[in-house]
Amino acid sequence: SAAEKDGYDYFMLKEIAEQPKAVANTLLGRVGNDGLLSLDEMRLSDDELREVDKVVVVACGTAYHAGMVAKYAIEHWTRLPCEVELASEFRYRDPVVDRQTLVIAISQSGETMDTLMALRYAREQGARVLAICNTNGATIPRESDAVLYTHAGPEVAVASTKAFLTQMIACFLVGLYLGQVRGTKWGDEIRSVVRDLSDLPAKVDVVLETMEPVRELARNLASATSVLFLGRHVGYPVALEGALKLKELAYMHAEGFAAGELKHGPIALVEENVPIIVVVPSPKGRSVLHDKIVSNIQEVRARGARTIVVAEEGDEDVVPYADHLIRVPECPVLLQPVVSTVPLQVFACEMASARGFDVDQPRNLAKSVTVE
Count of Cβ atoms closer than 10 Å to residue 325 Cβ = 16
Nearest residue (beta carbon) to ligand G6P = 61
Minimum CB distance to ligand G6P smaller for 112 or for 353: 112
CB of 169 to ligand G6P, least distance (A): 15
CB of 217 to ligand G6P, least distance (A): 24
| CA–CA dist 47, 49 (Å, integer) | 5
CB of 338 to ligand G6P, least distance (A): 17
Torsion from C-alpha of 210, 213, 219, 221, nearest 10 degrees: -120
In the residue annotation, 367 being an active-site residue is answered as yes
CB of 51 to ligand G6P, least distance (A): 28
Strand partners, 105: 58, 131
Catalytic residue among 21, 54, 247, 367: 367
| CA–CA dist 301, 323 (Å, integer) | 9
Minimum CB distance to ligand G6P smaller for 107 or for 296: 107
Minimum CB distance to ligand G6P smaller for 61 or for 235: 61
Minimum CB distance to ligand G6P smaller for 161 or for 287: 161
Closest CA to 278 of 316, 310, 317, 302: 310
Residue 93 burial class via C-beta count within 10 angstroms: exposed 0-12, middle 13-18, buried 19 and up? exposed
The strands making up 82-86's β-sheet, listed across from edge to edge, are 82-86, 54-59, 101-107, 128-133, 146-149
Strands 226-231 and 146-149: unpaired
The footprint of ligand G6P (CB under 6 A) covers 60-63, 107-109, 112, 115, 158-160, 365, 367-369
Q: Is 220 helix (H, G, I), strand (E, B) or coil?
A: helix
Provide CB contacts within 8 A for 167, sequence distance 6+: 63, 66, 106, 108, 132, 134, 150
Minimum CB distance to ligand G6P smaller for 85 or for 312: 85
Minimum CB distance to ligand G6P smaller for 288 or for 365: 365
| CA–CA dist 234, 312 (Å, integer) | 14
CB of 14 to ligand G6P, least distance (A): 16
CB of 104 to ligand G6P, least distance (A): 13
Minimum CB distance to ligand G6P smaller for 140 or for 276: 140
Q: How far is CA 41 from CA 45, 94, 174, in A?
A: 10, 29, 10
- Give the chain's length: 372
Query: How many degrees, rounded to 5, is the angle at CA 118 between CA 113 and CA 122?
Result: 150
CB of 107 to ligand G6P, least distance (A): 3
Q: Is 61 helix (H, G, I), strand (E, B) or coil?
A: helix
Strands 101-107 and 54-59: parallel
Enumerate the active-site residues.
367
